[in-house]
Chain A
Amino acid sequence: MSGHSNWPEWIYVGVVVSLLVYVGAEAWNVERLVEHTPAEAEVIKVVGQQWFWTFEHADGTKEVGELHLKKGQPYKFEITAKDVNHAFNIHDYVILQDAVVGRINTAWFVPDKAGEYPIQCREYCGLLHYNMRGTLIVEE
């Protein structure tokens, strides 16, 4: 308060600010990369409702609870909800987007490995929220 010098504090604040600038710049760059959806990505319509997921492929075929995709092909999810809010999540591919009634949110990815991956709901949606699961099956 009185008399003593504050320069160590300002150096410290400077270090903190520069670390934050670095984190912010890195995050900005990665976000920019992952948000740039390729034009040829195949659209999959995703609908969440209490308490299951429905998927509609570009050719009109529908699936409930299971989603079959091909390896190496870019896909774009168009995610919405019918009754209350949900969140569409494939944790292994770091896909997460809220399913909001009356809105279409998008996320895109390229499956790079064949196998089965869990799909789950990450937004509280009532009684069976914990059990609102599905399976992503990636085929060769």
Chain B
Amino acid sequence: MVLELQKPRPIWQIMFSTHHTDVGLLYVITSIAFFFMGGALALGIRAELFLPGAQIITDSMTFNRMFTVHGTTLIFLFLLPFASAVGNYFVPIMIRYKDMAYPKLNAIAFWMIPPGGALIWLGFADFSWYATPPYSAIRAPGPAADMWIFGLKILGVSSVLGAINFIVTILKCKHPDLPLSKVPLLAWSFLTSSMIVLVAIPSFAAALVMLLTDRLGVTGFFDPAKGGDPIAYQHLFWFTFHPEVYVLVIPAIGMMYEIIPRFSRKPIFSHSSGVFAFVVLSIVSFSSWAHHMYATGMSFTEKTVFMIGTLAAVPASGMHVFNFVATMWGARIKFATPMMWSVGGIALFFSAGAGGVANAAMPFDFITHDSYWVVGHFHLFVMGTIAFGSIGFLYYMFPYITGRMYNETAGKIHFIMSFVGTVMVFFTQHVLGLYGMPRRVFDYQPYPEYIIMNQIASVGAMIIGASMLLWLINMIYSAGKGKEANMDDPWGLGGKYYFPYQAKNPHH
């Protein structure tokens, strides 16, 4: 990247730039801003659930709007743009090309995110992030719901454009001397996840238009009163959003593939098995969407098919874990902040996966479906694995972006507090689910088990919140006043880095 803070440029030059590192910087800043906005909502939710009854938030509608926007923001406005940020910085360098294949398209894809985010935040819809009809079609209050639909539509187009750009860049613009099999795993992760986006997004894009026309009252695709089928929406939705889980997790694993060998001072154990596992994951991600719908009255046969499809994703995920463990074996590991986040992320990735295997077993769904178990389970993925990988990678990119070093001690405290907090919140939520607490509730019965578990979770959330504040201070302070980084080897590891700051920016 381009040392923005050392060689100051007018802000409009970065904003209207189409260069991949400038667009990458815009993605980083936007996604981190939304991360803190979505995280603030999470703290509000946890504070309200600290005790049964209404305390901070006075009515359930506000609460419902908060968890809806919390989920939508962190998935579409933090995790996806952050992955794009990393891809923008590193993919062109890793495949040895001067920029993305379509620089203007790249900038357009980014500039669709702020309007999409604005629609979601100004609307503040209440129907939860998956907007199930008939509620979303006939009862959800507008214009919030309609604004959410338009916002998601825009974000969907943005991620399709980004995916096209990554695929073309990697397949068509890579250096002729670089065979595809030698392309680094981080770039491979963007290739596979972009392929998933291209195949998966259209079904949800269609569902959104159908939902909008249903809301306008001109059609009845999902409205049973007009002969529609609400379950059809769930199929269209999950056909997009189960693969989308892999769209989020594959780049995070790719980021760990960059960090772990670097800090182990050792190449990855098996490049080919990493590629193999990415490709297998991107295919089997399409075989499991209806495991979200066991409770909608599916037949035994359908449930069996989707259980097998779900379990099929496990060996490939396990191969990644094996690859990381084998890389660290016999290494000389420097536990700088990025490495700590990656190793923590692997541990939580396993926990999330084990919970996922249990979820896939069909009778178990009768206990856990739409309970807090599910909340704990998927947060272990999105927070414990994907956000951990992403935050670690931002620490890794920090010296390249700013030319300065972050505060290492503060980074380590940030990791330890976040790890402890994550375990406290999300493991406890699994147990809450086993006690039968439903998700998306503003209030709960005052059973002693519910109260104590919710309190542990709320305290954990506050610990995460405090650590993120420390992170923000560390980032802002170090970007301006931090120690100057040794740009050839910021962590003293030896070996070959991908130097984003060496990318040639026409403005320099």
**Neighbour of A9 across the interface among B128, B270, B367, CB < 8 A:** B270
Contacts of A16 in B (CB 8 A): 314-315, 318
Provide the bound-state CA to CA distance between A92 and B363, in Å. 15
Check B297 against A98 for contact (C-beta < 8 Å): yes
Check B270 against A124 for contact (C-beta < 8 Å): no
Check B300 against A32 for contact (C-beta < 8 Å): yes
**Neighbour of B314 across the interface among A20, A31, A125, CB < 8 A:** A20
A-B contact count (CB 8 A): 153
Check B441 against A13 for contact (C-beta < 8 Å): no
Check A9 against B319 for contact (C-beta < 8 Å): yes
Check A23 against B361 for contact (C-beta < 8 Å): yes
**Neighbour of A105 across the interface among B270, B297, B363, B435, CB < 8 A:** B297
Within 8 A of A (CB), among B271-328: 271-273, 295-297, 300, 303-304, 307-308, 311, 314-315, 318-319, 322-323, 326
Contacts of A110 in B (CB 8 A): none
Minimum CB–CB distance for B322 against chain A, Å: 5
Of the A-B pairs whose beta carbons lie under 8 Å apart in the complex, a sample of 17, sorted by A's number, is A1-B267, A6-B273, A9-B319, A16-B315, A17-B315, A20-B311, A27-B361, A85-B230, A89-B438, A91-B435, A100-B296, A103-B296, A106-B297, A122-B439, A127-B64, A129-B64, A129-B442
Main secondary structure of the interface of A (DSSP, over half): mixed
Minimum CB–CB distance for B178 against chain A, Å: 14
Task: Kindly state whether residue A140 has any CB partner on chain B within 8 Å.
Answer: no
**Neighbour of B371 across the interface among A1, A26, A122, A124, CB < 8 A:** A122
Task: Kindly state whether residue B4 has any CB partner on chain A within 8 Å.
Answer: no
> Which of these binds chain A: B87-95, B130-138, B375-383?
B130-138
Check A126 against B139 for contact (C-beta < 8 Å): yes
The 9 closest A-B pairs by CB, nearest first: A91-B436, A27-B361, A102-B224, A105-B297, A130-B441, A84-B135, A1-B271, A101-B224, A122-B370
**Neighbour of B318 across the interface among A12, A102, A130, CB < 8 A:** A12
Task: Kindly state whether residue B362 has any CB partner on chain A within 8 Å.
Answer: yes
Check A24 against B315 for contact (C-beta < 8 Å): no
Task: Kindly state whether residue A39 has any CB partner on chain B within 8 Å.
Answer: no
A contact residues vs B (CB 8 Å cutoff): 1, 4, 6, 8-9, 12-13, 16-17, 20, 23-24, 26-28, 30-32, 34-35, 50, 83-85, 87, 89, 91-92, 94-98, 100-106, 118, 120-131, 133
Provide the bound-state CA to CA distance between A121 and B242, in Å. 24
The size of the chain B interface, using a CB distance under 8 A, is 61
Check B272 against A1 for contact (C-beta < 8 Å): yes
Check B326 against A9 for contact (C-beta < 8 Å): yes
Which of chain A's residues has its CB closest to B436's CB?
A91
Minimum CB–CB distance for B226 against chain A, Å: 11
Task: Kindly state whether residue B444 has any CB partner on chain A within 8 Å.
Answer: yes
Considering residues B61, B135, B307, which has the most beta carbons from chain A within 10 angstroms of its beta carbon? B135
Check A20 against B296 for contact (C-beta < 8 Å): no
Check A124 against B132 for contact (C-beta < 8 Å): yes
